[in-house]
Amino acid sequence: MSELNLILFGPPGAGKGTQAERLRSDFQLPYIATGDMLRGNVKDGTELGQKAKEYMDRGDLVPDELIVAMAGERLDEEDAQDGFILDGFPRTVHQAEALSKQLSQVGRRITAVLLIDVPDEEVVRRLSGRRVCVKAGHNYHVEFDPPKHDDVCDQDGSRLVQRDDDKPEVVEKRLNVYHEQTEPVVHYYDEKGILRRVDGTRGPTEVHDHIRAVIATLRLEEDV
């Protein structure tokens, strides 16, 4: 397998960031998140970044065409020639189709789309249980990693709070947005035969092992 071009999907709290870091280390691939890519273009004042900023300053969504063009430029960079890990892109079927067209024009394709699957109730449990200290941002979880004393940071004694975006009602809204945006894209890639589901309810090491096994199987299939 000459290239390893991966897309990561999963609801908030699924552990995509953790798995992306491990995959970067495993395969020496660039991790490309949509938000980082967009902010980088705006900060650097690129032509695409300037156009995107006009929309952002008005409070409008950045059009698909601009996001796709940014992704195309990023994937053309030298460090992405042996592969990449995309996170947060594509967000729509239109973006997925445009990405496929862009890649095919230069003889490339997506190797696999990895869906880290976690049920909604588990996402709510994970995120709503998070606590952060007000002083230095140390993280805890009331169930998985509790402090020694309720609502008090072990490291600096400051108060622990629940962030607004971790409150159950907010998490549920985030999940609704995720399902509305992502499920059509997941279905699109499933029909293409390149979607691979990974059980995200397991521990991070088990999830990582499963992903490694998926990639190993893909490489074997290509070599046959």
Q: Which residues are catalytic?
A: 16, 91, 130, 163, 174
Residue 1 is encoded by which pair of tokens? Answer: 């397998």
Are 201 and 122 in contact by the 8 Å Cβ rule? The answer is yes
Residue type, 68: V
